[in-house]
Amino acid sequence: MKPILLALVACLMGCAAHPSAFTVAGAPHAPVCHSEATGPLRIVVVGLVHGHAEGLLWNAQHRDDIDLVGVYEPNRALFDRLAGKYNLDSSLRYDDLARMLEETEPEAASIMTSIADHAEAIETCAAHGVHTLVEKPLAFSRADANRIERAANKHGVLVLTNYETSWYASVREAGRLVDSGEMAPVRRMVFRHGHPGPREIGCSEEFLEWLTDPKENGGGAIVDFGCYGAALALWMMNGEKPISVTAAANTLKPDVYPNVDDDATIVLEFESATAVIQASWAWTHDNKEMDVYTETGSIHAGKWDALSTRAPNQPAVTTNPPPLPDDYQNEWTYLRRVVRGECEVDPLSSLDLNITVAEILDEAREQIGR
């Protein structure tokens, strides 16, 4: 084990030294201009270097409510490889983002770049009136969060952030149990997110190149999986911002990840609750789960529909969560409906919540020396 990063420093706690630690300088909000289109969603993908881009390419092949009208990817070899796998016409490829947006006139763009490139991509899309869905996190720095907020507000576009956990029935039911008062108030939350590591699970070299670069990803597991717990904690607390952040990080596999952390912990203190975020590229298995402890019982929400509850001094009871609402079946159904004004913005994907996630990540990164 090689601990390269370690910090456990309480901060903020109402201290005047950080009076605006969780305040992004906003701009006046322009009214959102929803798409008036009907039929399949006209969508472009910006970048193919994120491994999750293949999810959109697969869905574009198999769904009749998505029309992929353009792909911005400067790396011709990467485009050609994925075009062969997903039967993409070569005419879809552009190496100029602005020209693609002008010629294809999409309703929305799926941003699949490095995290460091999110702000520039969103600014370009916003200037063309195009709504965006970015893969988590929105940003890892306050500066980029500020840029994104200004662009969205200036041009009246939606900027949404996608997390796999947003489409878990278990997560939605956990939120309902708390909001309804059946299990409340929240006192402690524990989030465990990660996997054995991006190289270990076979991520592409194009993905690994930026995912393991602290300039492009902001860090390693602390950003890649710390963002899940940060977003879910804010959501469970109805948007309440933490009053302190502490962070610790290690590199457990320095031969594999010499430049970034692969195991991290973030602790968020709220006025009346604590969130412990365990983010790792060193789990022995894929891990996306949370435990919520309240004064009237606890909730365990695992992947997809894995859910159990526990009353005080009683054994855990496995339960089947209700099906997801139609609007929240998956990111592409949600995106089509929300950009057309057919459903409300989900708080988990909202710009306001994800700006705060970026602030939390920035504070955590600062503590571990990033």
Q: Are residues 160 and 172 in the same domain?
A: no
213 and 299, same domain (yes or no):
yes
Averaged pLDDT for residues 86-107: 99
List, as one string, the DSSP characters of 41-96.
Answer: EEEEEE-S-STTHHHHHHHHHH-SSEEEEEEE-S-HHHHHHHHHHHT--GGGEES-
Highest mean pLDDT: which range of 15-24, 30-39, 112-121: 112-121
Residues 155, 254 within the same domain? no
CATH code for position 54: 3.40.50.720
> Do 176 and 139 share a domain, yes or no?
no
Longest dimension (CA), the chain: 63
One domain, residues 87 and 176: no
Q: How far apart are CA 54 and CA 84, in angstroms?
A: 12
Q: Are residues 175 and 307 in the same domain?
A: yes
Pair 152, 172 in one domain:
no
Residues 241, 99, single domain; the answer is no
pLDDT confidence tier of residue 28, bands split at 50, 70 and 90: low
Range of the domain at 111: 41-164
| Per-residue pLDDT tens digits for 309-358 | 999 999 999 999 999 999 999 999 999 999 999 999 999 999 999 999 99
Say whether both 142 and 245 belong to one domain.
no
140 and 105 within one domain: yes
Question: Does residue 24 carry a pLDDT above 50?
Answer: no
Clarify whether residues 150 and 223 are in a common domain: no
Report yes or no on 368 lying in a domain.
Answer: no
Q: Which pairing describes strands 263-269 and 274-280: parallel, antiparallel, or unpaired?
A: antiparallel
CA 26 to chain centre: 21
Q: How confident is the model at residue 175 (pLDDT cuts 50, 70, 90)?
A: very high
Q: What's the mean per-residue pLDDT of the chain?
A: 93
Q: Is residue 14 part of a domain?
A: no
The answer to whether residues 152 and 189 belong to one domain is: no
Last residue of a domain, one of 131, 164, 197: 164
Assign 2 a pLDDT band (cuts: 50, 70, 90). very low
Structure tokens belonging to residue 24? 């992004």
Which pLDDT tens digit goes with each residue over 210-253?
999 999 999 999 999 999 999 999 999 999 999 999 999 999 99
pLDDT at 19 over 60: no
Task: Tally the domains of the chain.
Answer: 2
The rounded distance, in Å, linking the Cα atoms of 97 and 342 is 28
- Check pLDDT > 60 for residue 7: no
Residue 26 has pLDDT above 60, yes or no: no
Q: What is the pLDDT of residues 109-129, one digit of tens each?
A: 999 999 999 999 999 999 999
Per-residue pLDDT of 40-82, as tens digits, reads 999 999 999 999 999 999 999 999 999 999 999 999 999 999 9
Query: Is the pLDDT score of 35 beyond 90?
Result: yes
Q: 22 in a domain, yes or no?
A: no
